[in-house]
Homo-oligomer: A and B are copies of this chain.
């Protein structure tokens, strides 16, 4: 997943918005629900206005869903899919050599998993090249710091930049006091991300990654260095995309690892002026072609109606994109594989969409929403896995209140896996959330995010960090939910687009 916020943006927050969804919402990566209330409502699918029976599940349907769940809990297909992706493709950021390799891998892998209608849909993606960066403290005590450019950072001059460091905690502090003190200096943002099961520390901390350089640049800063947005204590910086506004001055922006941030702060605490030298060679190249990769298990009765399972195929460049979002790719692809192997196929089609370029602006999701807007009414439900293969804890939905009984039955099948139903307040995740303005109902599965931000966007996002049993559990959740959602005779109608209602 990506992230980034716009400070001061006024949006009406859903009452029980998931904290990470909230971060995306602030960032303009998902559409605030209050804005959607006025959107033209898409026509309900043909099967709407159903009777009570059409909104419930039969005993046979529940039995089939349970069988898929149990099969998933004993199956390591997903783990091996992820091993293959991380070992044979590895880093695959938009426009990089790994990007087309990932597309080719996905086409081959989805076919090998028995999916049908496997194809790629073209997406234009931006192409930022990291280059190299060096950060050194020059005085009072020389030290080398471990750093990484933030996604979208411009380069320094070839000879680098050397200047005094001015520390601030966050964007608020940047706008207080004597704001001329930043001119000609390097601004250092020291705010530290808090660890939380719901990942809520991210939305608070990530704002400086998105807007720090823009806001400091407006005040004459030469460059920005931030404490990594991450909960670990490893000497590995966390990258991630910036969210510049059109009139922002473009200045270099780098993240240093948490231990390096501690070291810098120890020197700042001495009270002596701290001078830093930094050099960065990042650059933008021309936009290029990538693709969303799609595969399906066709429905037995209404194959044109689809339940969408989404994940993003791209990753950051520093690691091999195991948890972000190779795990989602493996989980959702395997969920379809198991549905395809089930004794009874569901009424409707289940479609996996492996989105291009989530990290650098949701190119794949925006393209899919545009290209498939005409069939939005045939999109019955969307779900996305983009928070790692950690323990599933809670299910959120956004469906019309009269469909909540069906959602509660679906959730009850996940209760043995430790999942509780948490409300009808889902706002969609980054990619599938792009379908919400089109009226597509969504479900969202919370996972335990307490360790995710230890490795998120770092070189440490590698295969060894994934627990195969937890990955199985995620596959079980999505396969169960998807089979039932695709089979529910009456479907889910259109997503309510105002404030969330009901529980």
A262 at the B interface (CB under 8 A): yes
Of the listed stretches A82-90, A180-188, A379-387, chain B binds: A82-90
Residue among A144, A262, A464 with the most chain B CB within 10 A? A464
Report B-chain residues with C-beta under 8 Å of the C-beta of A262. Answer: 462-464
In A137-156, which residues have CB < 8 Å from any B CB? Answer: 140-144, 146
Task: Report yes or no: B86 in contact with A263, Cβ–Cβ below 8 A.
Answer: yes
Chain B nearest Cβ from A131, distance in angstroms: 14
A86 to B265, CA, bound (A): 12
A264 to B258, CA, bound (A): 28
Against B, the Cβ 8 Å flags (1 = close, 0 = not) of A451-473 are: 00000001110111100000000
In A245-273, which residues have CB < 8 Å from any B CB? Answer: 258-259, 262-263, 266-267
Residue among A87, A233, A460 with the most chain B CB within 10 A? A87
A234 at the B interface (CB under 8 A): yes
Residue of B nearest to A458 (CB): B235
Instruction: Report which of B140, B259, B458 forms a contact with A460, defined as CB distance below 8 A.
Output: B259
A267 to B462, CA, bound (A): 15
Report B-chain residues with C-beta under 8 Å of the C-beta of A236. Answer: 234-236
A433 at the B interface (CB under 8 A): no
A234 to B232, CA, bound (A): 11
Instruction: Report which of B90, B235, B459, B463 forms a contact with A319, defined as CB distance below 8 A.
Output: B235
Residue of B nearest to A320 (CB): B263
Residue of B nearest to A141 (CB): B88
Task: Report yes or no: A90 in contact with B141, Cβ–Cβ below 8 A.
Answer: yes
Contact A464-B320, Cβ < 8 Å, known A87-B141, A141-B90, A459-B146: no
Report B-chain residues with C-beta under 8 Å of the C-beta of A142. Answer: 97
Task: Report yes or no: A465 in contact with B141, Cβ–Cβ below 8 A.
Answer: no
A112 to B319, CA, bound (A): 45
A141 to B89, CA, bound (A): 7
Task: Report yes or no: A259 in contact with B141, Cβ–Cβ below 8 A.
Answer: no
Report B-chain residues with C-beta under 8 Å of the C-beta of A462. Answer: 233, 235, 259, 262-263
Report B-chain residues with C-beta under 8 Å of the C-beta of A87. Answer: 141, 143, 263, 266-267
Against B, the Cβ 8 Å flags (1 = close, 0 = not) of A395-429 are: 00000000000000000000000000000000000
Task: Report yes or no: A235 in contact with B141, Cβ–Cβ below 8 A.
Answer: no
Chain B nearest Cβ from A255, distance in angstroms: 15
Residue of B nearest to A463 (CB): B262
A26 to B305, CA, bound (A): 70
A235 to B266, CA, bound (A): 25
In A217-247, which residues have CB < 8 Å from any B CB? Answer: 233-236
Instruction: Report which of B83, B97, B258, B319 forms a contact with A266, defined as CB distance below 8 A.
Output: B83
Report B-chain residues with C-beta under 8 Å of the C-beta of A458. Answer: 235
Chain B nearest Cβ from A40, distance in angstroms: 47
Report B-chain residues with C-beta under 8 Å of the C-beta of A320. Answer: 143, 263
Instruction: Report which of B90, B234, B235, B258 forms a contact with A143, defined as CB distance below 8 A.
Output: B90
A427 to B262, CA, bound (A): 38
Report B-chain residues with C-beta under 8 Å of the C-beta of A141. Answer: 87-90
**Given A233-B464, A235-B462, A263-B320, 20 more pairs with CB closer than 8 A:** A87-B143, A87-B267, A88-B140, A88-B267, A89-B141, A90-B141, A90-B143, A90-B263, A143-B320, A233-B462, A234-B234, A235-B460, A236-B236, A258-B464, A259-B460, A259-B462, A259-B464, A262-B462, A262-B463, A263-B462
By Cβ-Cβ distance, the 5 closest A-B pairs, closest first, are A87-B266, A259-B462, A235-B459, A88-B141, A90-B143
